[in-house]
Structure 1
């Protein structure tokens, strides 16, 4: 297969610095032989050198440090996600390749927002991103891009929030094989984390810029020049996950005819959450 002229030369990845770009955290796509998972958050970390770019020989400590540096997660949150995730896939105190994290029905789950369900009998989930599913996810955003553009003031951004995520989760869980309550909670927690990374307040709504999100989830790439500007805690993630859960229940209950009750403040929510993300 020929590569476009703009594609970096095929090369080996042996550490965090890309030998072609010469940048520690500049983007470089995976090369032949590199390992990747169904989790975009982890793949982005490898593509930008926050963990080993080949996605191999990774410890829970490597993942913890990468989550903090790449996304601005607090130490307790990053530690929880990494070490509990390793325990669930039975790799505690061992090193893994990213592909191993996609063991089906461990942390990984069916009803992903952008991946197909794991084929029957397969041990590991497919890592290919379906761009049609990405488009469907963006189509779940309200107001739609057209409605937003018609009403937006100059400089306003098209945003995705917890209500849009809930709408997408209801749709995908109806399209796919059923998932149990534990994996449903993991699925909500995955998106709760990324909603906290880029959250901004607009005139029409608060949420994360859709252009950032689309690049992250479909290209597994961070926005150019972006760096974390705040620390995200476990309590923050729990609060957003509860918002998603509340709105999912509302959408399933009365079809969206009335607004759901306002979510409880973070201080009133018990500190429970789920390990990171396999498929979002």
Structure 2
């Protein structure tokens, strides 16, 4: 049976180029046989050809180069993420993206847009739950600051560390418990993207929620976007700490509201 004319061409990905998109770093979704993980950052890099589009045979150097070119990460930050990732996975040779989804290695439960790994499974599910994507975006809109949105004459609504904290608190209540190391990884993941896409609207600072929806929901970069600054390790640590502080405050306020007198101390 032939495909309709409107159907995207089915093809194979080999290397960084895509035979259909034809342009450097143009988006193309994964094809049959391509490898992907539960990590939107790395899947996006593959979908745009910053690492091998088929998601296979990727070295630590490939990740370092891709993280710098795609997101503007500093060399120390890119090296740290790549080398530590290979160490956690206990890998020396090149990897495929699906290997990054090994449960409770780098990957963790309480993902913002993925379901927890089913009991007995070695690798996390890679399917994105669009309902969870919508709830993440709602967490930003719920906490919208004055001066954001159409009422303020700006079509953008920004997601900041407090909004991310709200989403993380919600997901950690909905999902299986995660340990302190994976909780820190989860905050760091979002701390990176908050810095990469930092935008100002009037007196507010954050990232446009539609960019977040596109990235985490479709694993695709904003149209025409290119890195305009270098994102360093210390900046990620600062943003991760801001998310944790906001989470702690939310949990404390909830405990007080539920009558926990010790939470007031």
Q: When the two structures are superposed, what TM-score results if normalisation uses the length of structure 1? A: 0.86
For residues 248 and 3 of structure 1, do their structure 2 counterparts lie closer, same or farther at Cα, with a shift above 3 Å needed? Answer: farther
Q: Using the alignment, how far apart are the partners of 2:47 and 2:37 within structure 1? A: 12
For residues 86 and 6 of structure 1, do their structure 2 counterparts lie closer, same or farther at Cα, with a shift above 3 Å needed? Answer: farther
Deviation at 1:2, TM superposition (A): 9.1
Deviation at 1:6, TM superposition (A): 4.9
Partners of 1:35 and 1:99 within 8 A in 2: yes
The answer for the alignment partner of 1:129 in structure 2 is 128
For residues 219 and 150 of structure 1, do their structure 2 counterparts lie closer, same or farther at Cα, with a shift above 3 Å needed? Answer: closer
Give RMSD over aligned pairs.
2.1
Deviation at 1:146, TM superposition (A): 11
Higher RCO by CA contacts (8 Å cutoff, separation 6 or greater):
1
The answer for the alignment partner of 1:117 in structure 2 is 116
The answer for the alignment partner of 1:174 in structure 2 is 173
Q: Using the alignment, how far apart are the partners of 1:105 and 1:131 within structure 2? A: 23
Extract unaligned runs of 5+ from structure 2.
257-265
Partners of 1:250 and 1:256 within 8 A in 2: no
The answer for the alignment partner of 2:39 in structure 1 is 39
SS at match of 2:140: coil
Q: How does 1:121-270 map to 2 (within 5 A)?
A: 121-143=120-142, 148-149=148-149, 151-153=151-153, 155=154, 157-203=156-202, 205-255=204-254
SS at match of 1:51: coil
In the TM superposition, structure 1's runs of 4+ consecutive aligned residues that sit over 2 Å from their partners are: 1-8, 142-151
Q: When the two structures are superposed, what TM-score results if normalisation uses the length of structure 2? A: 0.91
Deviation at 1:255, TM superposition (A): 3.1
Q: Using the alignment, how far apart are the partners of 2:149 and 2:4 within structure 1? A: 33
The answer for the alignment partner of 1:30 in structure 2 is 30
Extract unaligned runs of 5+ from structure 1.
258-280
Q: Using the alignment, how far apart are the partners of 1:21 and 1:66 within structure 2? A: 19
Q: Using the alignment, how far apart are the partners of 1:150 and 1:200 within structure 2? A: 17
